[in-house]
Amino acid sequence: MRERSIPPQRTDRRGEAIRLTADPRGRRLLLVPAGAPPGAGEAFMRGWRSAEETVLRPRDGEALLRAAASWADPFARSLGVEEPRLTLILSRRVWGTCNARLGLVALHEDLSRMPDGAAREVLLHELCHLREPAHTPAFWRLLTDMMPDWAEWEGVLRCLGARLRAAGS
């Protein structure tokens, strides 16, 4: 496979995000959630490639919370949801989570090490869940309406997350 080619894509019916994985023979495979907009896989790969040389910042959870607070109000107003309380998490599995009942959005502290667009995408993803709880086509349309380049930022997030995991941080 050429370095710059797009890996084969498959629709992931239960997918919560676009992800790069391997098939049983070890070949790269791009899994795209059912209902994601056309071109999302290509945008993801553009983001992944653009992040390959990104220098990660030092971890600063308090700066992330301040930035996220400034983004949350306009996002919440546009979505017609209550502005959530924000908190930080350290998780092996997720970049963010929300609890509509508690009005809480938790963001992974390592998002502070990445470009702001990656953290904005995670925050907006979680806020969209306050309107559309599941990863349905309606959810992906809402996210795309709010942030047309979300898939590219998802690629940045996944690439840098893989680097952080590989470095053990």
Q: How many Å apart are CA 91 and CA 95, to the nearest integer?
A: 7
Q: In this model, does residue 76 exceed pLDDT 80? A: yes
Residue 22's pLDDT is 84
pLDDT digits (tens, 9 = 90+) for 84-107: 999 999 988 899 999 989 999 999
* Of the candidates 113, 114, 96, the residue with the CA atom closest to the CA atom of residue 105: 96
147-to-5, 9, 11, 125, 141 alpha-carbon distances in Å: 25, 22, 21, 9, 10
Measured in degrees and rounded to the nearest 5, phi and psi for residue 100 equal -65, -40
Residue type, 131: R
Contacts with 11 (C-beta within 8 Å, 6 or more apart), sequence order? 31, 32, 33, 34
* pLDDT value of residue 4: 58
Residue-wise pLDDT for 107-137, tens only, equals: 999 999 999 999 999 999 999 999 999 988 9
pTM of the model: 0.88
pLDDT of residue 1: 33
Instruction: Say which residue, 131 or 10, is predicted with more confidence.
Output: 131
Looking at the predicted structure, is the pLDDT value of residue 71 above 70? yes
Domains and CATH numbers, the chain: 61-147 (3.30.2010.10)
Environment class of 15 (CB within 10 Å of its CB; exposed 0-12, middle 13-18, buried 19+): middle
